[in-house]
Amino acid sequence: MAIEKQAEGELSGVAELRAILRIRPFRRLWLVLGAASLGDWLGLLATATFAAAQVSGGAAKGFAFGGVIAIRLLPALLLGPLAGVMADRWDRRLTMVVCDLLRFVLFASIPTVVLFSNDAAITVGWAAIATFLIESITLIWLPAKEAAVPNLIPKARLEASNQLTLVTTYGITPVLAAAVLAGLNQLYQSLTNAHIEIAVWAEPSSLALYFNALSRLATALVVFFGIREISGRNGKNHHSESMARQFVDGWKFVGRTHMVRGLVFGILGAFAAGGVVIGTAQFFSTELNGGDSTFAILFAVIFIGLGLGIALGPRLIGALSRRRWFGLSIILASGSVALLSLATHLSIAVAFTLLVGAGAGMAFLSGITLLGGEVDDEMRGRVFAVVQTGTRVILMLAISLSGVMVGLGGSRAIAGTDFSVSSTRILLGVAGFLGVGAGFWALRQMDDKPGVPILADLFSSMRGRPLGIPEPSSGGVFVVFEGGEGAGKSTQIAHLATLLQSGGRDVVVTREPGATEVGARIRRMVLDSHATPTGPTVLAPRAEALLYAADRAHHVSTVVRPALARGAVVVSDRYVDSSLAYQGAGRSLAVDEISWLSAWATGGLKPNLVVLLDIDPTIGLERAGRRGAPDRLEQESLDFHERVRMGFLDLAAADPNRYLVLDATRDEKELAEEIAARVGKLLPPLVRTDGPPPQELAAQHAERVRISALS
């Protein structure tokens, strides 16, 4: 069975991928952005190494390398907030085309400068200026691209399309870029060792930058000529508003929208924790008695985890609400950071680092899916800009500040152990706990299923049966009578209804199945014994359970909830527990499946009190036989009814505060008195415009209950 489900999941994943790639505009964009992503990763590595190669000396090389990387942070600080306004104000297709053409020129200019100047200061200086300009342009291009993609894809397939894009961008192309650059370097070294002269423009870093430039030119051409669908209405309706007004409106939207506010805060918390892991990894590797190889392993593992979280996360959590998934992913990533601080061996550190990456990947995927699917098109660019700017700044600051703080701190070993308490471990622990707090806060802001237990919902969703949101039941009281055949439910229901009505209560007496016209038809189907030439009709257990659930859904919607809404006392002969006992325990179906089915059918409505009249099946069936011809359930074996009885008792034992379990063989009036006393505690005071105050009415009602039960 497990193998069949796995195969089915794989087939559905392949079918989903094929369906997405059949959308021609998205397919074209994905292909060209895949090539551009490869170029960007090559450019990221090559720009810094190109600058470092232009100078000599360890300090100068380090300054050139780090300086070019640091410059990537400045545009986000200076221009990031305005980039989203531009993405929402201008036509997104033309914005992407112009930005890619400019990046084509700038990337190509970095290695070209060397052909015309031998001055290292000019070469490194232009590399820094070009990097700043490229990053500034990218800040405008990114929100335009992210805001445009949801318009190319049906909303139901947005998550799968984001999976494909993110796996390509962060899983495949980084590895491919590293391999390509390593291969170019190896080839260059081999040719150099063979004393073959290589032109400056053919050096590995130069080739990588030229490839990046050409990939941007290809993207511009494909978007302009082949994906006209990207142009949206965003560029047509905002020219009457000033950019300052749009900027302010964007930040107001983020601040007043619970979902967006929680999502932005959660993403920033997760990236801050991830930045601390990256910034402290080199020092942490030393504490694990490792060196550069340990650092490389941890760095690679976090990206492997990121890819696994993006690729496998949706299949793992199944039908869980994506808002809840986002918050739980933040908690997973941050909690793993906190646990990572306690790791004393590389294998343990690898496991927690993998979880950090997986949690971050799932949070990233669910976050951009929520933004793309739930933020209106006219505001989407500004929201994406806030997220992208914030994550870049937070990530870079976390990496740099954590590196400085760890470098200033020290390490102190605990006597008699190999474990040391260091500034690295403390920083990881603090970052992890703060990230967990951010995850809980985001979950509270974004939760779309309040009142539904999160862990129970997660485990049910992983099995494909997410818990529903309980619907409000208003101000009435819901009392259910349960028990085996011949337990005397009808008699006690009549006593209770008469007593409540005599006290001025609005009472609705109902039953399952059969309280409605639809229910009456279902009752005949499930209880009547239909004789055929080959014998009585046998109803499949699952069909029986579904019929009861259908009756219950209609019964609750048309009878129970309307009565509760007006404040009535609803007294029902059987409810959910009968299905759990008869179809679950009696028919040996999975009780959790029956429970989920009933909860879905009723909208999560639970009774205030369940009166369980317990009786030995032998006695109960004898009583039931005196009423006339037995129905289909009464004809079941004694073993069946024994299982039903045990099913009822197990349910009562699991939730004793909501059950009143009584021996059904006791005196009828004694049972009525005890039931009346328990129900009386649930009833709100009667509210009248004249007559005695509510407190006095409540006391009079309690006295009537006692006298009526004893008479």
The reply to whether 490 sits in an annotated binding site is yes
Measure the CA dihedral 183/70/438/248, to 10°.
Answer: -120
Spatial CB neighbours of 663, under 8 Å, sequence gap ≥ 6: 614, 615
How far apart CA 349 and CA 359 sit, in angstroms, is: 15
Question: What would the two tokens of residue 334 be?
Answer: 């941050």
Partners of residue 613 on adjacent β-strands: 483, 662
Spatial distance between the Cα atoms of 277 and 337, rounded to a whole number of angstroms = 7
Cβ-based neighbour number of residue 193 at 10 Å: 8
Name the packing angle between helices 292-317 and 322-340 (round to 10°): 150
Q: What is the largest CA-CA distance in the chain?
A: 115
Closest CA to 149 of 100, 93, 98: 93
Residue 1 burial (CB < 10 Å; 0-12/13-18/19+)? exposed
Beta strands in 514-606 (DSSP E): 531-532, 535-536, 569-573
DSSP string, 341-363: TT--SHHHHHHHHHHHHHHHHHH
Among 478, 481, 477, residue whose Cα is nearest residue 494: 481
Tokens of 136: 């500034």
Token output for 417? 């152990």
Chain centroid to CA 289: 37
- Structure tokens given for 609: 């009190």
Which residues lie below 8 Å from residue 618, measured CB to CB, with a gap of 6+? Answer: 638
Length of the chain: 711
3-state helix, strand, coil in the chain (%, to 5): 75, 5, 20
Strands 609-614, 477-483: pairing is parallel
Q: Is 486 annotated among the ligand-binding residues? A: yes
Token output for 248: 């302010």
Q: What is the DSSP letter of 557?
A: I
- Helix and strand counts by DSSP (H, E) for the chain: 27, 9
φ, ψ (nearest 5 deg) of residue 154 = -60, 145
- Establish whether 485 is an annotated binding residue: yes
Judge whether 236 is annotated as a binding position.
no
Tokens of 21: 């790639």
- What number of CA atoms fall less than 13 Å from residue 547's CA on the CB side? 19
Q: What angle do CA 334, 336, 342 make, to 5 degrees?
A: 120
The answer to whether the annotation marks 449 as part of a ligand binding site is no
124, 69 Cβ separation under 8 angstroms: no
CA distance from start to end of the chain: 61
Give me the residue label for tokens 């859904």: 553
484 is in an annotated binding site: yes
Residue 483 marked ligand-binding: yes
| Binding annotation for ATP | 483-490
Binding-site residues, please? 483-490
